[in-house]
Amino acid sequence: MHIIVCIKQVPDTEEIQKVKINPQTNTIVRESIKSIINPFDENAIEEALRIKEKNSAFVTVISMGPPQAEEALRKALAMGADKAIILSDRSFAGSDTLATSYTLASAIKKIGNFDLILLGKQAIDGDTAQVGPGVAEWLQIPQITYVRKIHIDGKMIRAERSLEDSFELVEANLPVLVTVTKEINEPRYPSLRGLLKAKTTKITHWTSQDLQVDLKKVGLDGSATQVIRVFTPEPPPRGEILIGSASQKADKLIKELKKRNLV
Amino acid sequence: MRNEINVIWEKCTGCGRCIPECPLSAIVLENKKAKILPNCSFCGICVKACPFEAIELKRQEKVVDLSEYKGVWVFAEQRERKIMPVTLELLSVGRELADKLGVKLSLLLLGDEEKNVEQLRKYPLDRIYLIQDSLLNYYRTNLYTRAIADLVKEEKPEIILVGATSIGRDLAPRLATRLQTGLTADCTSLEIDKKNRNLIQIRPAFGGNIMATIVSPYHRPQIATVRPKIMKKASPKNERKAEVILIKPKLSSEKIAVNILDLIKEESGVKDLQEAEIVVSGGRGLGRAENFSLIKKLADLLGGAVGASRAVVDAGWIPSYHQVGQTGKTVQPKLYIACGISGAIQHQVGMRTSETIVAINKDPEAPIFNIATYGIVEDLHKFIPLLIDRLEKAQS
């Protein structure tokens, strides 16, 4: 069995709050922001490893991004992935989700055989959740999104797909593409042995030439959407801070809420 | 041809006026001349900003004749054969966009539930496309994509709006990729640029710290998913009498690919979060998972639902379907009580449109106080039991 996991390097969850706009220049300030593997993608790696442990699978991890994204791939290798491929090329810069999913799908086609493709449900920087279904469409395979449980049985997959107030139990023949939520598992920490192995494993580097992609479909040229402006959201009006002792505040609050017919 | 942007060396004086104008920080000064970096999106703002006409932009030729595309479509989301409230929100914003463009507003309804047609005809729309097939009574990615994509190719709408739900966000990217067109996720505001009929799509990014304005100037249809609970609902008065166009799609059950074996409801109390009139949420200030019982008790007493911040969901104190915020749910209750939540932007995005906000936090500097209608600077472990006690007395 061959599992391919697509991952993205993103700004750290804690540090994402520090992403601000410089009011003078109206541009995004991202200085000194630490990078991590997108947390949902870590769940995808973990799930691939768990399936590998049960069903003896081979796990390939791929990432599109600048050369620094190798760092994310090294961590995936340290967790236990077997092979890592970075898709990095100047022509990929500025990709929207349409161009990104095309590039990832081109790499998956080059890899060839696969049974399962895993991704996190979305990346925490863009929050679009569009790349997974996009890749599935380029590959013309079925997708199951927002999955919180996977069971592989031979050539079949059973999964629980989360909806807002319920979940679906679904079944499909492999190959399929699955995007996972954080409920699915708790990602492992790399072992010392894993870290040592990851240090010496060679990461394959593919460019647009290696992928033989249509240059009109990658990067900015392949992107249907354009970001034309970024700005800081307006601060909402400031309210009233209640004063007095704790019980006075409680009384005041209940009085105000009663006035508004809320209690 | 591909997009090309060049600085005309002889004309550029190195004044730097273009640099602050660029929304992507894609211009730097090098050897006293402007230099455009590879992250340029060819938006053309710098071209207009340059007083010396020193920046030259050659855009990719339009691949499609955009003028062939007319009309605004709204995807009607149904669950268990019922119309979901987000559909009515899409109809109100869809109506505004269609009026600005001077085109028809159409609704896409899939399945064979005829009573939904009658229900929806009461709303201010011009046309209902009823794609009628019992295979479409339940949402399935590939059948829905196929049925809608076929109709889009024939009818050529310029805009399609879809709810940003677990169904809409599964469908829209599949559809946009099949149609090779632009899609913007989770929009919170939509406008029309009258000059070129582009849909101006505004959405939060980077955990809600930043808003981005996105367009798809050379592609049609322009597809957007719209965050539920942001737009107001359309009201049921239609003077137009919507026409109903019946479509019989070419589908077969063999194409289903993913079979749905069962649909299971989550434990009670969960489903209520987005519809609840009162939400009581807990954050890191609770100290540990067990203290959520305090939140639950207050919520029960007020007849409200339990919410949570991302931090406590990440810490595993409570399942993620309680999460309110950018990566969780957006709620808009009459009363939102934030307990021990600092109020990072990512959380605020999901609750700041609540009618009344009460914040309880011992840190007077917590950003949640910036948006609270009533702020209470107290230790929640002391204050909430006191509040519960007073409420119980008041109710008895």
- Annotate A43-86 with three-state secondary structure: HHHHHHHHHHHHHCCEEEEEEECCHHHHHHHHHHHHHCCCEEEE
Say yes or no for a CB contact (<8 Å) between A239 and B374.
yes
Q: Which of A36, A130, A243 to mutate to test the interface with B (most CBs of B within 10 A)?
A: A130
Same domain as B143, residue B246: yes
CA–CA dist B144, B138 (Å, integer): 9
Q: Which of A158, A163, A173 has the CB atom closest to B166's CB atom?
A: A163
Residue listed under structure tokens 């909430």: B384
Residue B143 has pLDDT above 60, yes or no: yes
Residue B267 lies in a domain: no
Query: Which CATH number fits the domain that encloses residue B92?
Result: 3.40.50.620
- Report which DSSP code applies to A244: S
Interior angle at CA A217, CA A216 and CA A221, nearest 5: 60
Kind of pairing, strands B189-193 and B198-205?
Answer: antiparallel
B207 contacts in chain A (CB < 8 Å): 16-17, 19, 124, 127
Count: domains in chain B: 3
Cβ B165–A164 below 8 Å, yes or no?
Answer: yes
Q: Work out the burial of residue B284: count CB atoms within 10 Å of its CB; fewer than 13 is exposed, 13-18 middle, 19 or more buried.
A: middle
Q: List, for residues B280-300, the tens digit of each pLDDT value.
A: 999 999 999 999 999 999 999
Report the chain A residue with the minimal C-alpha distance to residue B212: A230
Q: What is the pLDDT of residue A231?
A: 86
A72-131 confidence digits (pLDDT tens): 999 999 999 999 999 999 999 889 999 999 999 999 999 999 999 999 999 988 889 999
> Inter-chain contact B170–A146, Cβ cutoff 8 Å?
yes
Residues B123 and B193 in one domain: yes
B25 touches chain A (CB under 8 A): yes
**Is the pTM here over 0.80, yes or no?**
yes
Distance CA B367, CA B347 (A): 10
Q: Does any domain span residue B300? A: yes
Reply yes or no on whether the pLDDT at B125 is more than 90. yes
Tell me which of B58, B78, B96 is where a domain ends: B58
Report residue B148 as tokens: 């809608």
Interface test with B, best of A12, A43, A226 (most B CBs within 10 A): A226
Just give the CATH number of A2-217. Answer: 3.40.50.620
Radius of gyration of chain B (CA): 25
Residue pLDDT, tens place only, B297-322:
999 999 899 999 999 998 889 988 89
Q: What is the mean pLDDT of residues B50-69?
A: 81
Residue with the bigger pLDDT between A29 and B44: it is B44
- Asked whether the beta carbons of residue A132 and residue B184 sit closer than 8 angstroms, the reply is no
CA pair distance B326, B294, nearest whole angstrom: 25
CATH assignment of the domain containing B291: 3.40.50.1220
B229 and B293 belong to one structural domain: no
pLDDT in tens, B161-218: 999 999 999 999 999 999 999 999 999 999 999 989 999 999 988 777 788 999 999 9
> Are B24 and B76 found together in one domain?
no
B48 and B182 assigned to the same domain: no
Total length of chain A:
263
Banded pLDDT at B1 (limits 50, 70, 90): very low
Q: Is the CB of B38 less than 8 angstroms away from the CB of A134? A: no
Do residues B107 and B246 share a domain? yes
Same domain as B15, residue B75: no
Output the DSSP codes for B41-98. ----HHHHH-TT--EEEEPPPPSS-GGG---EEEE--EETTEE-HHHHHHHHHHHHHH
Determine the structural domain holding residue B44 and report its residue range: 4-58
pLDDT digits (tens, 9 = 90+) for A211-229: 999 999 999 889 999 988 8
Distance CA(A87)–CA(A73), nearest Å, equals: 11
* B383 → chain A, closest CA residue: A246
Half-sphere exposure of residue A81, counting CA atoms within 13 Å on the CB side? 33
Q: What is the CATH number of the domain that holds B38?
A: 3.30.70.20
CA–CA gap between residue B296 and residue A54 (Å, rounded):
39
- Same domain, yes or no, for B79 and B34? no
| CA B143 to chain CA mean position, Å | 24
Task: Tell whether B316 is covered by a domain.
Answer: yes
